[in-house]
Each structure stands twice: as structure tokens, then as C-alpha cells.
Chain A
């Protein structure tokens, strides 16, 4: 019997797990995919929003501000990248200046600090490559960027260090009331728990409907992105937003914490919760609309494109709390933008709710901090030497584009939760994340995973399940896969 089962190991589930692990309980996270951050947490803008955009009084506004204020300190405790680069909401010539002022007023009401409207000259000084067609901007100095995978991984590793158990490949099929709590069924197992937390992203409505009759509808809204070579990474310093319209926040241009440039997302309302495919129209919208914000779009420097699905609740706000008809079941649903920013605050809020429903003492010896996997690319000469002296595998370069070594990959394979797939390695240490997109390193990474985990290369996958990299050996006829 678990005390709490959390369904979903995205940034929200991982944050809740980490906060709950301060309490002296047995906590289990069930994830249908084979790693953390496999849903919206892996395909979003990576922005820590200042909080100027959310409607005052909404849960989005509340948790955005709280999350935004916590993020920097959290990034130091859990050792994930964070950079307060500041955001700019651009106003084109002939654009609706009233709207910009409205945004400023909204931000002030939400409690965002340091907001100001800057005019053309100052805008050019802050951002020399901004498009000539931009007249002014709302400057949001608290706007920041992070790495959504590494944030989620940091939360999950810290949760695991504090006793949380993660189980992957466990898709929840049914939830039944049982005695004081719930019985959660997956394809292969049943798990009993006093409390259940629903952090299932785009599927949160299905999980919710297993226990509650209160209406909830999560609509997948697709966002497509293009990622550019690091050569284009210093084109802009700030995150450049467009003035929001009824259609959404528009295509933003941002540097990433790793020094790439990124443009996106589109906003396409869909019905298919698995439609994480890009489309020709979507990619051309990203490149076309993105080009309106800056002088010249580095079209030829695209290294990859991807899409994610926002978990948009029909009523437009986060849903956090117990449905009236399902005591002991807590939703953390509809967590779309600014969900990444809000996640640390949502984690705290849910863990307080759990404490109120079912009080327990705090865990003795809670581990507050977590160290990231060493990163040779960002290390000084002295740090590199120290790493190599301790383990020569740190001198064996596997990914040349991002300078990732065997030592870093082996370390990723020894962490809990473990990176057992090519994508898991890629998100943890960036092998395959660079300009050749794994063309050079993926066979080498595959061999390292196989060696370290004692598997045959044939068993290695891109992201678990049936995502096999290899399909048999040479001259093997009638291979079964």
C-alpha cells in the first residue's frame, strides 16, 4: 500500500513527487512512457515566464508568479540551467499600443516586478537584431529561460534520492475506490494507495473521469518549433514575444540555455492526443512569423524541428485540487503555459493539500540538493582535468558537436531514474543534441548503453517500447520485428 500514487512523470508530476518527498510517506510515480518528461515537458519553449500575460485572479497567474520567483533558487539547489535573460513583448509600427499598455497593467496587477515599456531606441540597444518594423516593447526583466528536460530530471532525481519510486511503462487503465483509498490498475499490475494525484498531462481528463463525474476536457493544442544551430544562438539575447492575440501568444524567438536559437510555437487545436508530428504548414508558419521579429531568420541553420501538445483545459485555467465527488484524488490538470514556470509552485500546493488531507510527520534527513551530471563542455580546464583524473572516461569524447564524453554518458546511466534510451541520454547529457543530430555519436552511445546495462545492442531503443534502433543482424532473414 502506497501513501500517494502520482500519475505522470512530467515536470508537474516530478515537482509534486519532489515536494511530497519532504513528508514521511511511501510515494510511487506511474508513467506510461519510459522516461520522465516524455510529454509536453519535452517539447515546449523552456521559458520561465515573468507572469505579465496570465489573467489576474486565475490559477495560472497565481502559480506563474510563485513559480517564477522560486525558479532561480531551485536551479541552484537542484543544479539545472537557468538564465534570467529577460523577455520583450514586441509592438510593431501601427500595432495596438493600448494592448501593450494593458499587458503592462495586467503584469503590475499580477505582481510582476520591473516591467516597463521601452521605445525604439532602447529596444535597439537591448536587442540589436530586432526587426526594423518594431516600434516599442514591454520589457519583462524577470523573464528567464531554463531547460525543461533537465528541470524535470533534476526534480525526479531529487525525489528518487528522497525515496520516491518511479515505475515506467505503466499506463493507468482504471482506478477504483477501495476502502479508504484507490486501486490503480495498469496493464500488468495493480497498486493501492490512500491518495492519487493526477498529473497526466493531455490525458488528465481520462484519468479524472475514472473517479469523478465533474466535467473536465483536455484539448491538445499543438505547438511546432524549429531549433537552430549554435552559430545562430547569439542572434538575440532576450526572449522575443509577439503581442498576444485571441489566437495565442504568437511565435516567439528565444535563445536557449545551451546557446541555440529557437522559434515557435504554433497553436493548433486538435483532437488527437498523440499528434506530436510537425507539418509543412506549421514549420513554414514558425519560420515565416518568426522572421517578423528579427532582421533575418537564419533559415538554413535549422538543425531540427519538433512539436508538443499543450494540455489545454476547456475553461482555460489550471485545475488544481480535489473534485467534490472524489476525496483523496487530486487533479493537477490543464497545466499548459505557463505550466513549466508554475510547476515548482504547483508541487508545493499539491503537497500542502496532501498534508491537509492526511497529515504525517516530515521526513527526517530530507535531501534538499542534487548535483547535475558533470558537463565537460561547460567545465573549466581545471575542472576537466579533475574529472579526467578521477575517471579517464571523461577524456573519451563520444559526441563531437556538443563535446560529450563517455564519462558523462556512463554517469547518466547510473542515475535514478535511469536514462536507458538514446533519447534519455540525449536529454541528460546532450549527446546527439547538436548540429549533426546524432549522426556521429548515436552508434557509439548505443554501444555504451548496451555495455553499461549489460544488454545486446538489439535491445536498445530510442525512447522505450517498440522504438528499436536496430532490426536484427546482417544476413538474418525473416527477422521478427
Chain B
């Protein structure tokens, strides 16, 4: 949408080039601009900025960065607006195919797009923000047939949330990574049956709040220490065989269970996407899958900075933003002074993730107001009041009381849009509604068709299903 704006300012030589216009790239570009670099170019392969956030239509983003709970597209839109405000040129639909580091320290970017053909751009400094990709079924060595109906969770998310198309009607989800959990809910809300989530480990790597809101809310079983040992179906998936695994993660004979399904979604890990990084000659860290960076996120004195999921896989986008700000600031510093200050910001380690382990806290309430996911206990006192402990902030207490008496949820989904770019517009309820009313909300929006332009915050439907909650657009789609 800002393609033209980008083109006017396009130069073949820039001070800072940012590869990738997702959350990391956008935050890095904004931070560098705010540190006084006015000659920046962002290169993005998709038709719009925002990266994977565009398809992450669920909420839970931004609690650290913006102190409020946003959906993925809303979070992205905030940064897209900053990019526009700073008039930072962006090349969309542009794939970077090669990076070259010259002896004199300059870097050449080779890229391609429909309008300009092959582009060669020289940059003084680079920020790498290419993100990550999903590990596919093939890499998991799952035996069986190879029919249609086997997708990574993220691919399914794109079909449902951007294209408005259902990749299946009856699904088994393999792996309980967050995208898999999120897709369990999405598929269910869009009318599919999710049979179960099978996780090979004896705990889930997904956030506790996702276990609660995406599985428990919809009675979707989570089978731990369980993996898929066979996939059946010649044309389309017809079923899978699940088996329990031992401590060495090997399937235990005799524990097989046949499950009927037409779809298998893999949510089995993310891999930083560093093919371009390797072309620069950067060393890789086998533990993170990302490049080896020195203090200040720089690849060994090259003036090349890495941030976000290309560096290491982050659990929450707020951390990506924080790290990318450091990368952008440091790149600015490097461009001006050729070195980094002593206190240059670096790697944002993921806080120890609040993962779900069975047996623990089954009788407790996990707060989902923020990613802290405090484990709380709540009990009713003689006077009828509810006593809450274990919460780090007052939000936890309110939440525990409501969760005990009348759980409420923000509903996120899509409505159809007649756009040239996408078929689905992401929406959410303007406030939380009682958990039991979620199906009514979905029914209320199922017939809605909208036309562009639509912006974040536009009211799509007033007082949905008499809940008092409006349906708001969470995306900006202008064409």
C-alpha cells in the first residue's frame, strides 16, 4: 500500500538497509531513524508490511511495548504508521536474493521485484530481520503416506486468516507450539473439528494461556508424550496413528491409537531463516540457529546487525521489538561513529517461558492477562469473598475472581472482504464476552461482507449478538 511512497525515495545507495519488513525490521528501521539516520530502505518480500503478524489475528500482543493487549495486525499497524510518519522508504514484493560483503566494508544487496526487475543496492550498514520458518513434516521423519491435507500450522493460518479458506474439516495437530495451539482454536471457531493436539514431550512448549484459551475453552484434548507414527490416505489424509513415547521419545509398541481426520497440522518448531546471512560469510550458532553476534547484535565487526527471529526464536513479539530497537540504534551508532558504545543494547533473552506441565497447577488458575501467566490459587472465604494469592499484580486478582465466577474472552476471527489483496479481514470484539457466548459471536459475523477501505478500529458490527460488544476491524485494508 505504501509501495509508491517507497519508490519515489528509492536510491541505489543507502546508509542503512533493513532486510525484512516484519516486526523486527520495522522496529529497527524506526529506531535507527529516531537516532538520526535519515537514509534507510526496508526491503519486504510480501505485498504489505507487518510480516507474520498479519496472519496472527489473535490477541495477546503488545502488553510490554504498548501496555495494552493488541492483535497481531493491530500491533503491526502501529509500526507501519511509524514507518509512514518517518517517511521511511519501503520496497514491497521485493525478494532479496543475495548479499555480498566487500573488503572495503560496503555491502551489496541483490533483490528482485516486478517493477524494477533486478536491483542492486549498496548499503553502509545492514539490519537482518528475515524471521524464521516452520519445520515441516518431512524434517520430522513421520512415516506414512504423503496425501493432501498435511500442512504446517503457519501455512494453515495463512489459508484461514488471510485467504479465508479452510485447509480441512477434521484436524489432528502435531506439536503444541503456540501456533499449533492458536490454530486449534481458529480451526474450531471456523467450523472445523480439532480432534486433539499430540505433543511428543511430557510438557507443552506453548504458553499456559494458550493451553487454557485455545484448548481447554473448547474441550480439545492435549495428549502429552504422544506422537504420530503413521499417516493414512492416498489422495487426502484419512487418518493418523498416534502412539505414546518412552523417555527416549521412542514410540511404545501396543499404545497405538487410530484417529480419523482429514488434516494434520505440524507445529513442531521454528528455524531462523539464515540462508542470506550465510552468504555474508557469517558464523552460525548451533544452539540458536542464528548468526553469531557480538555485543550490540553485530556480526563480527561487519556493520551487519541481526535481530528478531532470524537471530533466535522469540516467544513473544514484544521481545522482538525490544531487540530490534537495539539493533536499529546500534546500526545508527555504527554508521555515525564506526563503533558501538559500551552500553550498546543486545540480545533479548526470552524470559523463562511459563509452560504447561501436567499435574502442576491443575487446581490453580493461570492468569492470562499478560504473558507472565501467574499461577494463582483462589478460595472462597466464609464471608463469601474470594481470596487470591500468587498474583504479581492486581490484574491477577480481578482475573482470578472473574475466571472463577464467569470467565470472559476477547473473540478474534475474520469476516469476508472483497479486496484485491486478501479475502479475510481480521476482527475482534471490542471487549471481552462471556465464554459461553463465543459461538453466538461467530454466528453473528458469519454472513458479513465488507468492502475496502477498512481501517484498524472501524466498527464492523454494533452490539454483536446482544452481548454489548462491537465487532472491530483489526486490520487496515485499503484496496
Q: B residues within 8 A CB of A277?
A: 143-145, 230-232
In the assembled complex, how far is the CB of residue A250 from the closest CB belonging to chain B, in whole angstroms?
21
Partner of A470, one of B115, B116, B141, B167: B167
Partner of B165, one of A278, A401, A458: A458
**Chain A window 385-405, contacts with chain B (Cβ cutoff 8 Å), 1 for yes, 0 for no:** 100110011011100110101
In the assembled complex, how far is the CB of residue A336 from the closest CB belonging to chain B, in whole angstroms?
21
Contact residues, B121-153 vs A (CB, 8 A) = 133-134, 136-139, 141, 143-148, 151-152
Cα-based distance from A479 to B190 in the complex (angstroms): 12
Among residues of B, the one whose C-beta sits closest to the C-beta of A385 is B118
Tell yes or no: B468 within 8 A of A by CB. no
Tell yes or no: B294 within 8 A of A by CB. no
In the assembled complex, how far is the CB of residue A284 from the closest CB belonging to chain B, in whole angstroms?
9
Is B45 a contact of A392 with CB atoms below 8 Å? Answer: no
Is A396 a contact of B113 with CB atoms below 8 Å? Answer: yes
Among residues of B, the one whose C-beta sits closest to the C-beta of A395 is B112
Cα-based distance from A305 to B93 in the complex (angstroms): 32
Contact residues, B162-199 vs A (CB, 8 A) = 163-169, 190-191
Q: B residues within 8 A CB of A403?
A: 97
Tell yes or no: A364 within 8 A of B by CB. no
Partner of B143, one of A282, A388, A447, A457: A282
Given contacts A303-B136, A443-B155, A470-B159, contact A388 B112 (CB under 8 A): yes
Among residues of B, the one whose C-beta sits closest to the C-beta of A277 is B145
Is B442 a contact of A279 with CB atoms below 8 Å? Answer: no
Tell yes or no: A466 within 8 A of B by CB. yes
Is B166 a contact of A476 with CB atoms below 8 Å? Answer: yes
Is A474 a contact of B190 with CB atoms below 8 Å? Answer: yes
Among residues of A, the one whose C-beta sits closest to the C-beta of B234 is A274
Q: A residues within 8 A CB of B165?
A: 457-458, 470, 472-474
Is B262 a contact of A471 with CB atoms below 8 Å? Answer: yes
Tell yes or no: A353 within 8 A of B by CB. no
Given contacts A466-B235, A470-B167, A476-B166, contact A443 B158 (CB under 8 A): yes
Q: B residues within 8 A CB of A302?
A: 138-139, 141
Is B235 a contact of A393 with CB atoms below 8 Å? Answer: no
Q: B residues within 8 A CB of A282?
A: 143
Contact residues, A25-77 vs B (CB, 8 A) = none
In the assembled complex, how far is the CB of residue B192 from the closest CB belonging to chain A, in whole angstroms?
8
Cα-based distance from A302 to B138 in the complex (angstroms): 7
Is A306 a contact of B167 with CB atoms below 8 Å? Answer: no
Given contacts A280-B143, A395-B113, contact A474 B138 (CB under 8 A): no
Partner of B136, one of A385, A388, A436, A472: A436
Tell yes or no: B414 within 8 A of A by CB. yes
Partner of B148, one of A227, A388, A440, A467: A467
Is A443 a contact of B144 with CB atoms below 8 Å? Answer: no
Given contacts A277-B144, A436-B133, A442-B155, contact A472 B169 (CB under 8 A): yes
Q: A residues within 8 A CB of B137?
A: 304, 437
Tell yes or no: A349 within 8 A of B by CB. no
Given contacts A465-B235, A472-B166, A473-B166, contact A397 B45 (CB under 8 A): yes
Is B159 a contact of A388 with CB atoms below 8 Å? Answer: no
Q: B residues within 8 A CB of A477?
A: 191
Among residues of A, the one whose C-beta sits closest to the C-beta of B145 is A277
Contact residues, B81-132 vs A (CB, 8 A) = 93, 95, 97, 112-118
In the assembled complex, how far is the CB of residue B203 from the closest CB belonging to chain A, in whole angstroms?
23
Tell yes or no: A316 within 8 A of B by CB. no
Is B118 a contact of A395 with CB atoms below 8 Å? Answer: yes
Q: A residues within 8 A CB of B231?
A: 277
Tell yes or no: A211 within 8 A of B by CB. no
In the assembled complex, how far is the CB of residue B146 from the closest CB belonging to chain A, in whole angstroms?
7
In the assembled complex, how far is the CB of residue A251 from the closest CB belonging to chain B, in whole angstroms?
16
Is A462 a contact of B147 with CB atoms below 8 Å? Answer: yes
**Chain A window 222-242, contacts with chain B (Cβ cutoff 8 Å), 1 for yes, 0 for no:** 000011000000000000000
Is A469 a contact of B424 with CB atoms below 8 Å? Answer: no
Is A467 a contact of B45 with CB atoms below 8 Å? Answer: no
Among residues of A, the one whose C-beta sits closest to the C-beta of B448 is A475
Tell yes or no: B259 within 8 A of A by CB. no
Task: Classify chain A's interface size.
Answer: 35 or more
Given contacts A400-B45, A443-B158, contact A283 B141 (CB under 8 A): yes
Identify which of A385, A389, A401, A467 gathers the most chain B CB atoms within 10 Å of its CB.
A467
Cα-based distance from A474 to B449 in the complex (angstroms): 12
Tell yes or no: B160 within 8 A of A by CB. yes
In the assembled complex, how far is the CB of residue A413 from the closest CB belonging to chain B, in whole angstroms?
18
Partner of A397, one of B95, B148, B168: B95
Cα-based distance from A471 to B171 in the complex (angstroms): 12
Among residues of B, the one whose C-beta sits closest to the C-beta of A393 is B114
Tell yes or no: B236 within 8 A of A by CB. yes
Partner of A471, one of B45, B114, B168, B416: B168
Tell yes or no: B154 within 8 A of A by CB. yes
Cα-based distance from A437 to B155 in the complex (angstroms): 11
Given contacts A283-B141, A392-B117, contact A470 B229 (CB under 8 A): no
Tell yes or no: B446 within 8 A of A by CB. yes
Is B136 a contact of A467 with CB atoms below 8 Å? Answer: no
Is A385 a contact of B117 with CB atoms below 8 Å? Answer: yes
Tell yes or no: A97 within 8 A of B by CB. no
Tell yes or no: A381 within 8 A of B by CB. yes
Identify which of B158, B159, B229 gathers the most chain A CB atoms within 10 Å of its CB.
B159
Cα-based distance from A426 to B59 in the complex (angstroms): 36
Contact residues, A363-390 vs B (CB, 8 A) = 381, 384-385, 388-389
Identify which of A381, A470, A471 gathers the most chain B CB atoms within 10 Å of its CB.
A471
Tell yes or no: B272 within 8 A of A by CB. no
Given contacts A280-B229, A396-B113, A458-B165, contact A474 B45 (CB under 8 A): no
Tell yes or no: A247 within 8 A of B by CB. no
In the assembled complex, how far is the CB of residue A394 from the closest CB belonging to chain B, in whole angstroms?
8
Q: B residues within 8 A CB of A471?
A: 166-169, 262-263
Is B148 a contact of A479 with CB atoms below 8 Å? Answer: no
Cα-based distance from A461 to B231 in the complex (angstroms): 18
Q: B residues within 8 A CB of A393?
A: 114
Is B262 a contact of A476 with CB atoms below 8 Å? Answer: no
Cα-based distance from A472 to B190 in the complex (angstroms): 10
Q: B residues within 8 A CB of A168?
A: none
Tell yes or no: A439 within 8 A of B by CB. yes
Q: B residues within 8 A CB of A467?
A: 147-148, 235-236
Q: Which residues of chain A have a CB within 8 Å of any CB of chain B?
A: 226-227, 274, 276-280, 282-283, 302-306, 381, 384-385, 388-389, 392-393, 395-397, 400-401, 403, 405, 435-440, 442-443, 447, 457-458, 461-463, 465-477, 479, 481
Can you list 8 contacts pairing A with B, beta carbon distance less than 8 Å? A395-B112, A395-B118, A436-B133, A439-B151, A440-B155, A461-B235, A470-B167, A479-B166
Q: Which residues of chain B have a CB within 8 Å of any CB of chain A?
A: 45, 93, 95, 97, 112-118, 133-134, 136-139, 141, 143-148, 151-152, 154-155, 158-160, 163-169, 190-191, 229-232, 234-236, 251, 262-263, 275, 414, 416, 424, 442, 446
**Known A302-B138, A443-B158, A473-B166; 10 more pairs at CB < 8 Å:** A226-B141, A277-B143, A279-B143, A384-B112, A393-B114, A457-B163, A463-B235, A474-B190, A476-B166, A479-B166
